[in-house]
Structure 1
């Protein structure tokens, strides 16, 4: 555990007057207790590894910042206007400021302040707002995700401190660019963990801005400090699934959150090293029609069905393509960062399995999600609100 993560646990234990536990889940004779879930017979990994059925009281957290809301501007033209499901969440937050990061500027891009991160102790609820959180991923319990969110906040803070050092302090300057890319994994881990924990759409909207700022930093440091030859290999087309998925998520969530134009352009620029992929290009072009769309897919076996949704002759066909993609989501992404994490719950390496990239396709094509919104991997609480 990093120094920052250890300190967070120490401070929480100090507030409660008891030592921190070594494990976020309940145990009995060294085995995890089984739990029945709503996923069965679909080939998902929980069938091979049961998880704890102990669901403690959900903790609450009132976000320190406001997220961006829809301005009423449609999310883009669609061949199938009016096909959207009537069940959507409205963000209900003003866009008067340029970015929710203004409210957390004193933290850089660390994230939720310490006063909010200390909101719960292994599932013990502390009322900081009226909304009670409820875990969305039952492969682990509420206390586990409460703990992981706080733990990752410490790791991200350590990353930010390290990346704030001058390049001269690194023995090899290219390490600065490499570390910034690796830090993005923990940023996405925290975003996924927050969703699994039960964070609201407004909280996740704020977290998205923090992730976007980290992505811009990673791109800037990669260009400045990674030699061109190494950079070309590291970000080669169709080479690294982790980078590719991060780019998909940046644009897809921007579409799902219906961010303002400035933020969307920032997200597009942050994915510069992934331009040329057809699916990424189509997602961007759904809101920026002039953006070039590539001729091929970087990973056709993985995202072929999502790309097929754009070529479908009807809304029903497009929705079926998204459903097929979700049905094989876990095996298709084998080997990416976090894959198999459900088997590493005791080590706090599970953050939830969520196909956030599907949100971009749903928003771009304005699809009705009712045929697949019960899929175990579909993050339905973040589906874009109905255009007014």
Structure 2
């Protein structure tokens, strides 16, 4: 025979086989050649000697790493295939395992000589990867400032912090959370000037279960949460009974005037007017300054520090408009009464029904503020004997009398 068939040839090939015969009696030889088609051996069986991983978490990809098989061929030959050296000869019909419980995975072992192969069914167990906790991490270096009582959007929190899921299995796998998170603060250590170190809590709900996480600072004690004093939102004042309000602007700085400032977190600060130094008082990270114009009196306020959202120092005004705490009569400087129509009536028995429209008044307060009062807000009394109409405001303290007369037809 001229050629020995090589079993490693991986395709169908045609060989020319020659058979020779030599006749020793006649001392002659005969030869015959003919073509032969040779196919590679096929796999007739395969045994898995080492299995790949057979337990997974729902959502993981199936992996063939570690598989080793003994493959028997039709020519009674057998070979050992392992994934490390023969990765291309193994494949599966599953990429991602998304169903919990027992899953059947079809593994195909390919013939190294051709595309023939052998299929093996492997059962793997897929477990639900339960969420067990959440964690809050800080995105950037440095302390971050929030203001007590102020409302912040989720975006502000996520700009500074990340909230991460942690699972029962495969603990190295995490997922960031961006929805269904509620944040809130708690004060820890007082730093002075109205500020505290704080802890940030996150509450996350998934599948009707609630998980909690918290952040205070990093392991070295840096990257803290600083909770600044809340901002003021309203002001009320009270006076002692003995206070004479003849000069309110000065009395505002006396011990007999009490201020109550309410903040965004519904806490209150109470102080008296004698704490002002040159019209200014600072407390808990906010500075208050007495100011006024001809119309009103107020406290200007300004925060000493900015929070993470502010681009400039917060500031505002708290108007001292609650004059009724003092009694309005104490705050009125003068009342200017006017008659708007000629006071001539037809007869003493006929007084116009619209008498109120005949009068008005301008009230000036000690702050310089002036308001106009119409006749409906004025008290009126008529002295027919002396032909006088007396108009008053705020009891009898402010009043004025106007003369009236009758027309010729009424005399």
Question: Structure 1 length as normaliser, TM-score?
Answer: 0.18
Bigger Cα Rg: 2
Whichever structure has more strand as a proportion of its residues is 2
Q: Which has the higher helix share?
A: 1
Question: When the two structures are superposed, what TM-score results if normalisation uses the length of structure 2?
Answer: 0.18
